[in-house]
Amino acid sequence: FTVVFAAGTLISQAIYPSLAAKFKRDKLVFYSIFISIIGYIIFFLLTTFLNGVVLFILLCIFSLIIFAGQGVFYLTMLVMLTNTIEYGEWQTGKNHAAITFTVRPFMVKLSSALQYGVVVLTLILCGIYSITNQVGDVEVALGMLQEGKTITECVNYLVELGHDPIAIANGLADAAAKVAGGLDMDVNRLGLQLYCETLFVAPDGALVGMALMMSVVPMLCLLGSYIILKKKYIISEEKYEEILQE
């Protein structure tokens, strides 16, 4: 998705000049939000009814549409933010360009922090966060094993962190059977890896919950931003030209 996000951003930057020459900014905002919301709706439906390779390919395609639409939206916001400099000077007689442009990096950092918080909260609510922590515990135990610790020490470490000793024992037993059957691999390392695989079981409703957070919440945020812009932002192209003339 990182690659798709970068591709969507590049597409939005490439097409924005031609779009800006054809449409007014309020139309660009509307169309970009509309396209992104359609993409999010399809994104949610795909994650609900499909799986496998087909799901991955379609998610990449519609994610590209979402990110391209959002890229146009963000570029339009940047232009609209820049126009507030002249508006502020027109209203107060003072040019606060430096202050205005320092607001954007702050907004980016604040939004990144909020984004991380939303991601963690989503993982916690969907029951995925505990799974990732448990997988991390097993990775630490595998590192201990590689450093020369005994399997007993590694198992005790995991049990102290709340892991199920019976499940660990089952993983080690399965590994012993595979090695006895001719698999050329360290039995203890294989046992911990097999136990780790049993952790990758998402709770009921977890995938639906994550899909909702990845689609519905962004849609609500986009709709909220559009409502705020329509009610509060008054610097149209005509108003901007009037300000410049005065």
DSSP string, 71-130: HHHHHHHHHHHHHHHHHHHHHHS---HHHHHHHHHHHHHHHHHHHHHHHHHHHHHTT-HH
Average pLDDT over residues 50-68: 83
Average pLDDT over residues 78-99: 81
pTM over 0.75? The answer is no
How much is the mean pLDDT over the chain? Answer: 85
CB within 8 Å of 213: residues ≥ 6 apart? 118, 122, 126
Structure tokens at 25: 């900014």
Average pLDDT over residues 162-184: 88
Average pLDDT over residues 149-174: 90
168-170-174 Cα angle (round to 5): 120
Q: How confident is the model at residue 1 (pLDDT cuts 50, 70, 90)?
A: low
Per-residue pLDDT tens over the stretch 180-217: 888 888 888 888 888 888 887 766 667 777 878 888 88
